[in-house]
Amino acid sequence: MVIQPGIEHVGFVSRTVEQTRLFGRCLGEGAMPGDVILLRGPFGAGKTTLVQGIAAGLQVDRQVTSPSFTLINEYYGRLTLYHVDLFRLNELDLEMEQAVAHCEESEGLTVVEWPDLLPHDLTASALRVDMQILGDSDRSLVVHAEGSRWSGVDLAAMMRAVLMGESWGKV
């Protein structure tokens, strides 16, 4: 991994489910009220696994599952986690757009799987994670911090810690 000043996207290859979950935990530990994280990637890329890690970093004590049928699940921890899954929608109606906007305006953390239907004003300040399947357990995670409050350098430090099997020490 190469860190370059001013570059606001970094990535790594997660070799295990545990590494993906640990990276999510680091994101959860560093999350602040009002943060938004967008997760893109095909089925099986590890989006829900990453959210499970985020929940652990927020000290959520419930099992996190995909909200595919309910669209939004809420979990309570250090911050409320709003886990949104827009896969089943062909279009975003006004009611759902307002529901997502309400989550984003809250003092919680909003994580959206399949965010492509969201309008730009709901995604402009979000951290974006693009995930791809590379093999049986290998996953590519590329994190884009442009427009968000996250720093590419901090994200790279998180990734280094994960690759060494450690939690990120900065909250």
For the domain that residue 148 is a member of, what is the CATH number?
A: 3.40.50.300
Show the tokens assigned to 24: 């999510």
Give the domain extent around 120.
10-163
Question: Quick check: is 26 in a domain?
Answer: yes
- Residue 37, in any domain of the structure: yes
In a domain, 109, yes or no: yes
On whether residue 121 sits in a domain, the answer given is: yes
pLDDT at site 71: 83
Residue 105 is assigned to a structural domain of this protein: yes
| Residue with tokens 């997660």, as numbered in its chain | 14
Length of the chain equals: 171
Do 33 and 60 form a contact (C-beta atoms < 8 A)? no
Q: Which two tokens stand for residue 18?
A: 């545990």
**4: in domain:** no
Its pTM surpasses 0.75:
yes
Q: pLDDT tens digit string along 69-90?
A: 678 899 999 999 999 888 776 6
Phi, psi dihedral angles at 131 (to 5 degrees): -120, 140
What percentage of the chain reaches a pLDDT higher than 90? 51
* Total number of domains in the chain: 1
Spatial separation of the C-alpha atoms in residues 139 and 134, rounded to whole Å: 5
What would the mean pLDDT of 7-13 be, rounded to a whole number? 82
For residue 5, what pLDDT band results from cuts at 50, 70 and 90?
Answer: very low
Question: What is the pLDDT at residue 89?
Answer: 65
